[in-house]
Structure 1
Amino acid sequence: MFEIDALRLLVTVAETGSFTKAAVRLNYTQSAVSRRIATLEHQAGGPLFERLPRGVRLNPAGRTLHRHALEVLDRLSRARRELAVLQAGQGGLLHMGAFSTANISLVPTALRALQDARPDVEVVAVEGRTGTLMERLGDGALDLAVVSDYPSGLPSADGVTTSVLCQDDLCVALPSGHRLAGSGTLDLSELREEAWLQDAYGDRPTMLADACARAGFTPRKVIRIAEWTGKFGYVAAGLGVALVPSLAAWAVPDELVLCRLTDPGLRRTVHVALPAVPLPAALKLRDLLRDAVD
């Protein structure tokens, strides 16, 4: 209803007590001030100032509007300051997402460095699968995401760009008492009799299925366990083995052993995904993520 410039003029006239002085301060003509105040009074439904022999002062209606005008102008001023800080990458909210194993060490290391470098940036972190994170980036709900092409490729999203962050080898987790636990490096065919812990459902192809096919066998049994803690528990109990990204090595319990695999296809690519016009703080976090993998 009320224009911001008109509210600013109201405050200035109230401070100076004069249309003429307000005109000088705001670089208006005196007649322009009179016209704009008249328009404001028309919008307010009545006079806002008492006309005195020398100058003007707010009447009750004017004092009411003046109080609200001060609040509006203060909020706008704070908004400008916050936006300036946000656009400079020095503060504000940063919404980021990552898949589960990236949150074990990689992402926390980068976020710790961001906290030190940009203490006024408040990060809102979420965890999710790559497909969901890419959708949320495309919808504008995230400012950055750490995603991967595992288990079935990297999806695309409108307006989202990706850049490679690192290559992440997939190892196999065995119980420490397993007959192959001391091998260091294994050929996948040596595990053809094992049950596999896996969380992917449905008929879509997976990296494990493709690798087993290359090794000349089909897993004899697949146990569907979604959470890493559950997978580790099953492996520790000798109920199966599991592919574990090297990013997750830090979280592997002591009673398990990680062995490398000879198949070069058992590797995933980790990417940083950003919207078309990223926030400066998102670009800073991207750089810190790159530092964390160097």
Structure 2
Amino acid sequence: MSEFTVAGLRVVREAARHGSFSLAADRLGYTQSAISRQIALMEQAAGRPLFDRLARGVQPTEAGLVLVRHAETVLGELQATRQALQDLGERPPGRLRVGAFATAMAALVPRAIAAFAGREPRTRVPLREGLSPGLLTAVARGRLDLAVVTPPRQPPAGVELIALLDDPLFVAMAPGHPLAGHPGVTGEQLRDQRWITGSTEPGTTLLGAWADPAWQPEIAFVARDWVAKFGLVAAGLGITVVPGLAVPALPPGLVITRVDHPAATRATAVATRPVAEAGPRRAFLESLRDAAADLTAEVRHRLRTA
């Protein structure tokens, strides 16, 4: 028994569309005898006639209509497959797995992703938020392609660190706070303040980057979520440290001032693995640099207009 073939399906479809073996031959570039041979083979595969031969042309039988309906599906899928393979050869779709610590998610990374989408529209960007040590491990193990991190003294083996910016530290407070309106504050001015932090352990926060390691801050409330921190600060219950990257996400009612100390910064870097072909990674890194420059300019403007 004959088998259905792609060529035979095309012939049956064209003959049914035009009601003529001759027109099907013209459309497909076949001879009349080749068309008749393909029809005969397809009727053998079907086990019944596919066309009624009329005085003027042909007409599909009930079996012919069934085969034509399925031929449309099969040939359509084959065309879609051919197009997908062609697209794959021209430019394969890809993904870039990105990680970042929480404050980088406030504005830096979202803006970089938006810019990157314009440069690499066929590349998806799965996103993961986490702490820098875990993100570095994920990059080292190949679970992330790159991550925005606070750089350690020694990165894991196989991880390259690319400096992004030295992020200045600010203090956010309610408008009625005694330090509000100061262009900058010293470590001594901050020593006796009540703090809103993300942890009871100062060493795990940004507190004390400008102070004596023996300093014990008065922690009024602990809130891991930035929205909760800002709410507590807005209520006048304390002040909190805000990296420059998070300043654009501050509620309009809060006031910020720069910490006047050389150590009041947080280094920010991009962790990645050296690769021979790094087109999307390079494009995303450029997007991060552009976003970082824009955010720095916004922070300066906010300070000038405060």
With the length of structure 2 as denominator, give the TM-score of the two structures.
Answer: 0.64
Matched, 1:111 2:113: yes
Distance in 2 separating the partners of 1:222 and 1:157: 36
Structure 2: gaps of 5 or more residues: 8-40, 46-76, 294-306
In structure 2, what residue type is equivalent to 1:106? L
195-204 or 115-124, which deviates more: 195-204
Distance in 2 separating the partners of 1:76 and 1:127: 38
Matched, 1:85 2:91: yes
The answer to whether the Cα contact below 8 Å between 1:143 and 1:279 also exists between their aligned partners in 2 is: no
C-alpha spacing 1:203/1:189, structure 2 compared with 1 (3 Å):
closer
Shift of 1:265: 0.4
Shift of 1:219: 1.1
C-alpha spacing 1:192/1:102, structure 2 compared with 1 (3 Å):
same
More strand by share: 1
- What is the number of equivalent residue pairs in this alignment? 233
Q: Residue 287 of structure 1 corresponds to which residue in structure 2?
A: 286
Larger radius of gyration: 2
C-alpha spacing 1:169/1:181, structure 2 compared with 1 (3 Å):
same
Correspondence for 1:146 among 145, 148, 156: 148
Q: Residue 219 of structure 2 corresponds to which residue in structure 1?
A: 221
Shift of 1:103: 1.7
Distance in 1 separating the partners of 2:168 and 2:252: 20
Q: Secondary structure at the match of 1:158?
A: coil
Matches within 5 A, 1:174-185: 174-185=173-184
Distance in 2 separating the partners of 1:284 and 1:155: 26
The answer to whether the Cα contact below 8 Å between 2:202 and 2:208 also exists between their aligned partners in 1 is: no
Distance in 2 separating the partners of 1:156 and 1:136: 12
Question: Aligned-residue CA RMSD in angstroms?
Answer: 3.7
Correspondence for 1:230 among 214, 228, 234: 228
Distance in 2 separating the partners of 1:272 and 1:83: 31
Distance in 2 separating the partners of 1:189 and 1:142: 41
Shift of 1:233: 0.8
Q: Residue 49 of structure 2 corresponds to which residue in structure 1?
A: none
Matched, 1:265 2:263: yes
With the length of structure 1 as denominator, give the TM-score of the two structures.
Answer: 0.66
The answer to whether the Cα contact below 8 Å between 1:235 and 1:242 also exists between their aligned partners in 2 is: yes
Q: Residue 31 of structure 1 corresponds to which residue in structure 2?
A: none
The answer to whether the Cα contact below 8 Å between 2:155 and 2:161 also exists between their aligned partners in 1 is: no
Distance in 2 separating the partners of 1:96 and 1:255: 32
Q: Deviations over 1:273-292 (max 9, x none)?
A: 11222642122101121122
In structure 2, what residue type is equivalent to 1:227? D
